[in-house]
Amino acid sequence: MIYKLKYGIPDVGSEAIINEKKVINLSPNEKGLYKVEGLFEDLQIIKNDESEELIVIRKVLEGKVFGFGDKVGPFNRWGKKYIFWNTDNYTHHPGADPLYKSFPFNIFINDNQKYGIFTDYPGYLEIDLGSEGKSEIVFKIRGSGFNQYVIVGNSVRDILSQYLYLTGKNIAFPKWAFGYQQSRWSYFSDKEVLEVAKKFREKKIPCDVIYLDIDYMDDYKIFTWNERNFSNYKNMLRELHNNGFKISAILDPGVKVEKGYKIFEEGKDKYFLKDIDGKDFEGAVWPGRVRFPDFRDRKVRKWWGQKVKQLREEGIDGFWNDMNELSIFATEKDIEEMKSIIKKMKLEDGINIAIKAGMIGEIGRRVKVENIIHLDGIKHYKIKNIYGFNMIRASYEGFEKKERKMIITRSAYSGVQRYGGVWTGDNHSWWEHIQLEISRIMSLGLVGVFYNGCDVGGFGGDVNAELLVRFMQFGSFIPMFRNHSAIGTRRQEPWCFGEKYEKIMKKTIEYRYMLLPYIYSEYMIGVFKNIPLVTPLFFHFEKDKMTFDVDDQFMLGRSVIVAPIYKPGQRSRLVYLPKRSLDLNKRVFLNKGWHEVEAPLEVIPHFLVDGRILPIQEPMNYVDERESDFTVIVSAYNNKAIGYYYEDDGKTENYKKGMYNLYKITYDKGKIEVLKIRENYIHMKKVWNFRIYTKEGLKEISLKI
């Protein structure tokens, strides 16, 4: 059941909602307040016309709150105030807020209640979840009104599914997007890219995607090639493709101001955001002086989409949309202002030192977006949080309709799952950030973005061997497995720390490829049924109250529990199992409850829930290389188990027309049954080998299907 509550009159829509048919419009009482029986009541609505602030105070029962996407801080969001104001915030300290994205959707849970709230406002929004110690939630916007959708359901899964009814289903990524991906800011030349690629194949470390960061462009000019360092880029793309690699290129929104530069000339006075004086707005980003396309405008999206299409035709397979919060290092005005502040300050204030240490970023955060106007006259600050959303939407248009899209964005808003996935931005090579990413990745699933990932190994700072191994182990169990690092930091490709560590990381990546039949099946079934690939334990074990307190373990699909190691020197950890499970390292059963589990450096604890089935394969160099032997691991302590296996072409949208195979596999007292739910795609796996773990021991069966 979805209720719509209206506070004031929004002066502009957010574009998140695409389906409102089933929504029930609630009426407020004579004081304009809402009381949703049994759930909550509003105490007050405060409207302060001068500062354009609208505040709603709501009395709630205390409980746990999950969601908000990849914000930092505790996984249970209760007890803190959150700001939604998309910002390039590159040091994710535990209190860092706001960050790149806004997903103002959360799920509220206590013993008696379970409901979701989507506060749909694309400008400045604050949500205070009881930070004052009261049982109150305070919603505050800088604007005239907002809508709220209260979703009541009987499970978290049901609530999320209804939220996705409102905001749209996830697109399905191509199968190769689940292979290993290697990135670095930057691989500086076509030669360097090819060397990295060659190393993967020589060392037989599986890899599917290589990333191009900003240096593939000429002077950071979007939709150009750096003809000096990438003089042979066509050959590079051909060779990469011949060796089974896909290439993902970065897209930055800032278009360099340069006379004669095609993209600039085409967009000038036509497609760019405006200043209050009616001229194109200008700021500084990587290329220096730039202007920003107004992606909210359909014709601008079409124009941009055409350019993306050209790159796609040249051989770029995927795109990552960056700096779209908007991230602006400085504007003329801000620099002037800073200069006057600096002048007034004495050296003792340390400000000169701060400038030398990269104060430019600080200026960027002060940039006044109040002065930016969209092509239709809307003030940018009222819709700042959907700039990135509309950028990925424009880039999405560069793909063919029928092909699957590999496309991610750093900045986003609710509903972005209709156009692509996300990564969590500039994390660091810190141990704390493995733990942080566990909760961010789970929280992204809870706001309906199923294809998500983080910079594995850490973006900023220098990684070390042990940290990289642990980060890679964690990364191998999340939807997008991409190793990425910043300029000037220590290299972190899998071979950068000598033979011993290379061997462990090779095994880690190979293991990921072994799991692909399971990962891909669970992902695709999830796309159909609105179930995130990575979830907190409670998503699948909601009746077990303990699961709500477990924030450093997660589930990959419906059957595998993962417990990453995120502390240096740690060689064992406590693991909570909501049901008896098969330890996939030791191949022994552990009962429901808490366990101390060993985790030597080469091991990440992970478990197959009893009664479930795990289809796996022999690893290969890249996803589409070949079909390989197929094995089904069965966790059947009491000789009973069930599972699913899905396959399709992995690259077109034909799955929407039902062109796929879906098998239900059951094991019951010595008998295997493979039920064909649908077989509409050429059948791939011929021989199925079953390894069945029961309380009596291991049994092996081979079947021809």
Q: Which of 34, 105, 185, 381 binds ligand GLC (CB under 6 A)?
A: 185
**Residues between 280 and 299 with contacts to ligand GLC, criterion CB under 6 A:** none
Considering Cα of 190, then 193, then 196, then 202, what sign does the dihedral take?
Answer: negative
| Shortest distance (Å) from residue 311 CB to ligand GLC | 16
| Shortest distance (Å) from residue 587 CB to ligand GLC | 39
| Shortest distance (Å) from residue 167 CB to ligand GLC | 25
Q: Is residue 627 among the annotated active site residues? A: no
> Which positions from 589 to 628 touch ligand GLC by CB under 6 A, shown as an x/- string?
----------------------------------------
For the chain, counts of helices (H) and of strands (E): 13, 38
What φ, ψ does residue 285 adopt, rounded to 5°? -135, -155
Judged by beta carbon, residue 79 or residue 361, the one nearer ligand GLC is: 361
Judged by beta carbon, residue 387 or residue 538, the one nearer ligand GLC is: 387
**Residues between 205 and 224 with contacts to ligand GLC, criterion CB under 6 A:** 213-214
Judged by beta carbon, residue 170 or residue 411, the one nearer ligand GLC is: 411
The yes or no reply on residue 7 touching ligand GLC (CB under 6 A) is: no
Considering Cα of 622, then 623, then 629, then 635, what sign does the dihedral take?
Answer: positive
Q: Is residue 158 among the annotated active site residues? A: no
Nearest to 175 by CA among 659, 650, 653, 652: 650
| Shortest distance (Å) from residue 213 CB to ligand GLC | 5
The number of beta carbons lying within 10 Å of the beta carbon of residue 491 is: 12
| Shortest distance (Å) from residue 250 CB to ligand GLC | 6
Judged by beta carbon, residue 322 or residue 493, the one nearer ligand GLC is: 322
- Cα–Cα distances in Å, from 524 out to 74, 208, 217, 608, 613? 30, 19, 35, 19, 16
Judged by beta carbon, residue 73 or residue 425, the one nearer ligand GLC is: 425
Q: Which of 425, 475, 517, 619 binds ligand GLC (CB under 6 A)?
A: 425
Judged by beta carbon, residue 91 or residue 306, the one nearer ligand GLC is: 91
Unique residue bearing structure tokens 């299907």 = 705
In the bound state, the residue with its beta carbon closest to ligand GLC is 185
DSSP 8-class letter at 545: G
Judged by beta carbon, residue 451 or residue 548, the one nearer ligand GLC is: 451
Strands 136-142 and 209-212: unpaired
**Residues between 245 and 274 with contacts to ligand GLC, criterion CB under 6 A:** 250
| Shortest distance (Å) from residue 484 CB to ligand GLC | 6
Q: Which of 322, 437, 510, 610 binds ligand GLC (CB under 6 A)?
A: 322
Beta strands in 457-584 (DSSP E): 480-483, 534-535, 554-556, 560-562, 572-577, 581-583
Helix-helix angle 298-314:387-396, to 10 degrees: 50
DSSP string, 314-350: HT--EEEE-STTT--SB-HHHHHHHHHHHHHS-GGGT
| Shortest distance (Å) from residue 190 CB to ligand GLC | 18
Q: Which residues contact 545 (CB under 8 A, 6 or more apart)?
A: none
The yes or no reply on residue 426 touching ligand GLC (CB under 6 A) is: yes
Q: Which of 246, 374, 410, 685 binds ligand GLC (CB under 6 A)?
A: 410
Judged by beta carbon, residue 117 or residue 217, the one nearer ligand GLC is: 217
Helix H or strand E encompassing 700: strand 697-704
Q: Which residues contact 58 (CB under 8 A, 6 or more apart)?
A: 40, 41, 42, 43, 136, 137, 138, 139
Q: Which of 322, 493, 583, 647 is catalytic?
A: 322
Q: Dmax over Cα atoms in the chain, in whole Å?
A: 83
Size of the site for ligand GLC (CB under 6 A): 9
Tokens of 469: 């191994």
| Shortest distance (Å) from residue 123 CB to ligand GLC | 23
What φ, ψ does residue 529 adopt, rounded to 5°? -105, 10
The yes or no reply on residue 70 touching ligand GLC (CB under 6 A) is: no
- Cα–Cα distances in Å, from 419 out to 408, 454, 478, 514? 8, 18, 20, 28
Which residues are catalytically annotated?
Answer: 322, 325, 426
- Chain residues binding ligand GLC by CB under 6 A are 185, 213-214, 250, 322, 410, 425-426, 484
